[in-house]
Amino acid sequence: MKVFTDEQIQKAAEVDIVDFCAQNNLPLVSNGNRYFRHAEHDSLVVDRKRNSFYWNSEQKSGGPINFVQDVVLNKKDFKQAVNLLLDEDSKYLKQPDVKYVNEPYEYQNKEVPGLIHVRKYLHEQRGISNRTIRELSAAGVLVEDKFHNAVFKWFDQDHHIVGASEQGTTIDHEKYGKRGTRKMIQKNSTTNFGVSHTIGKPKNLKFFESSIDLMSYRDLHPKLKDTQLISMEGLKQNTVYHYLLQNITQQKQAPDSVSICVDNDEAGHNFYDKISKLEFVCQYDNRDITFKDELCQQADCKDYNDQLKQHNQQMTLQQGLKQQNIER
């Protein structure tokens, strides 16, 4: 015997996730009219248009019922989840009744000259060299805003700004939790884009979870040639497909390699496992396109920024030992 009728289950499945969160004091931060991020778990994103969520770090996704089970209850209790969504006292908005307006992206231009605070944070806290900071700044990708945030611009193939991500430079664990800094994507940034930086010709594509990892990888490979470095700003397969198709269309041939350079954790491994099963054939030269595993594999390192910091420590130690030998 069913606990709920089909109509009740359908009604629960149509509850607007954003409204449910608002009425139950679950902290969501708007990235625009469509996308919302959980204030305490920045990899948990709610897509209001589709009335669904995805939680990259936990490899969880689904609709309202899954959201209540995985995020609110933290257990697969279908009955309790549906009961919460059917709560008559709350009168939640239904997804079909939500008016979604797709607003165009407009760059929030609050730039200031120089990179005083950004350079200090990236170099002293994240271990990124001044050389790499200058390189991205000269390319127009990296700027500082009046709130001292590092702003990474997203450009399309015509070099129009179509989005931007912001990385705070002030460390406050009480306010921002374990991560310690503010991090967000500007409102209405165009989907499937991210931070992109090309060295030479884009014969090789490398995809990262964040701009910091992109810069860290560049630091670890100063002799890198003919490569396009792309930050997905998360784990986003569609961003990979977008830049891959763009590269093929522009170059009229398959890239020499496509590398997935994400974090060395469960979410990163799952992301690579899914995308590695896909194979493409380039229509221009009939070459096979496969995805290369270039996840950060350094021991005790979660991502490329951890690896860079470890590398910097080793270099400092070696230089200290060398100086001691000279003094002897």
Output the domain CATH number for residue 19. 3.90.580.10
| Rounded-to-integer distance, Cα 133 and Cα 120, Å | 10
1 assigned to some structural domain = no
Let me know if residue 102 belongs to a domain: no
Specify whether the CB–CB gap between 118 and 212 falls below 8 A. no
Question: Do residue 117 and residue 91 come from a single domain?
Answer: no
Please indicate, yes or no, if residue 328 is contained in any of the structural domains.
no
Instruction: Work out the angle between the directed axes of helices 304-327 and 211-220 (0-180°, nearest 10).
Output: 40
Q: Are 137 and 128 in contact (CB under 8 A)?
A: no
Q: Look at residue 134 and tell me if it is in a domain.
A: yes
Q: What is the pTM of this model?
A: 0.75
* Proportion of the chain in helix, strand, coil states, percent, rounded to 5: 35, 20, 40
User: Is 327 a domain residue?
Assistant: no
Give the E-state strand segments of 124-218 in sequence order: 142-145, 150-155, 161-167, 183-185, 195-199, 204-208
Which residues of the chain, if any, have pLDDT below 50? 1
Give the pairing type, strands 183-185 and 204-208: unpaired
Strands of the sheet containing 257-260, edge to edge, are 195-199, 227-231, 204-208, 257-260, 292-293
Q: Which residue reads 């590695």 in tokens?
A: 276
User: Do the domain assignments include residue 250?
Assistant: yes
Please report the pLDDT score of residue 1 as a whole number: 43
Greatest extent of the chain over all pairs of C-alpha atoms, in Å: 85
- 127-149 pLDDT, tens digit each: 999 999 999 999 999 999 999 99
